[in-house]
Amino acid sequence: MLKPNKKKTGAKSAGKRFVIIASRYNAKYVDSMLKAAVATLRAGGPCEVEVIRVPGAFEIPVVASQLAHSAPDAPDAIVCLGVIIQGETTHAEHIGRAITDALMHLQIGYRIPCVHEVLLVQNESQAKARCLDPKTNRGVEAAQTAMVMAQTLGELRERNRLPF
């Protein structure tokens, strides 16, 4: 799997505004991703980082939608963090698909990056590997993606002189 690298991309967070929406459910894993994401964004330069906590992953899209609708005060990027662990039914898959579809439509419709790190994992071992291991913490990857996308869209807006 290809991992984003801030040094290779040159992405910075300086002067940007990021909002992280993080689920409280499966807090042990989400909190680790959240901590890593905030640290990564701040390491990219002086920026504004706001954290909004929601009860579960399913609630993330409605908050992302409210943020996206808040133009011209919308953030440069929204980072969505959550962990869904597969159970005995297909409930987790339905939740995961609904979140994916909602975030996709939001970012396309409002041209605001909605970085999707709402993980759908099979078991706690996978959650530990993706959230608690500093080498593979998806919070870092999410923050790096947010910086790259905020920079990329900012450059496109400047080039095209678009108001959004």
Residues involved in catalysis: 91
Distance (Å, rounded) from C-alpha 142 to C-alpha 155? 20
Closest among 1, 3, 12 to 149, alpha carbons compared: 12
Angle separating helix axes 138-160 and 124-131, nearest 10 degrees: 60
Sign of the four-CA dihedral 31, 32, 33, 39? positive
Give the 3-state secondary structure of 5-39.
Answer: CHHHHCCCCCCCEEEEEEECCCHHHHHHHHHHHHH
Contact between residue 33 and residue 142 where contact means Cβ atoms under 8 Å apart: yes
Strand-pair partners of 115: 79
